Structure 1
Amino acid sequence: MRIYCAACDHKGRIGSREEITRRYVKLYCQCLDPQCGHTWVSELTFKHSLRPPTQQLDTLLVERIRNLSPAQQQELFLQVSSPQLD
């Protein structure tokens, strides 16, 4: 991960980190330009998934099917088992 100084736009380095939660971390940073010397705190956080983990996807699918009425489940299974016409 690259980090840049907000004051002079030179490369910076992460000197230390403070894990607030598993998904939120404070990064204590320093500018690598000796003429600048800026130090700052940045935040690193988890925002959202682009694709859920495979195990979670399977669980969500089964849960969703269980919430369908028996007639809806039967219709779904008929659609899945019938041959697809291209």
Structure 2
Amino acid sequence: MQVNCSECGNKAIITSRQVLDPKLANLYCVCKNAECGHSFVMNLAFSHTLSPSSFQAKKMMVEMLRGMGQAEQLELLAQARSNA
């Protein structure tokens, strides 16, 4: 991951991080440009999912199956077996 200095635009080094939440962290940074010397904190945050994890897909399927009646569940199982 590349961080750029907000003052001069050169590359900066992440010296440490403070995790505030599993989806949010403060990145403590120092500009690599010796003439600038800017030190600053940037935020790193999770925004949104583009493609769900296969772990999440499995959980969603289980929840959907729990919401169906037994007849619907058996019908889906039969369809899955015939497509395998």
Coarse TM-score class (shorter-chain normalised): 0.7 to 0.9
Q: Distance in 2 between matches of 1:14 and 1:7?
A: 16
- Residue 39 of structure 1 and its aligned partner are, at CA, apart by 1.9
Quick one: distance in 2 between partners of 1:53 and 1:70? 25
Q: Distance in 2 between matches of 1:16 and 1:77?
A: 51
State the match for 2:52 in structure 1: 51
How many residue pairs align between the two structures? Answer: 83
Which range is displaced more, 29-38 or 71-80?
Answer: 71-80
Q: CA RMSD in A?
A: 2.2
TM-score norm. by structure 1 comes to 0.73
Amino acid at match of 1:28: Y
| Match of residue 20 from structure 1 | 20
Alpha-carbon distance in structure 1 between the residues aligned to 2:52 and 2:63: 18
TM-score using structure 2 length: 0.74
Structure of larger gyration radius: 1
Give, in angstroms, the shift of residue 83 of structure 1: 5.3
Q: Give deviations 1:35-81, integer Å, cap 9, x for gaps.
A: 11222210112233433143x43232122112112332233233323
SS for the counterpart of 2:74 is helix
**Residue in 1 that maps onto 2:41:** 41
Q: CA deviation at 1:34?
A: 1.3
Higher share of residues assigned strand: 2
Give structure 2 stretches of 5+ with no counterpart.
none
Counterpart amino acid of residue 48 in structure 2: H
Counterpart residue number, 1:71: 71
Structure 1's consecutive aligned runs of 4 or more residues displaced over 4 angstroms after TM superposition are: none
Percent identity for Structure 1 against Structure 2? 34
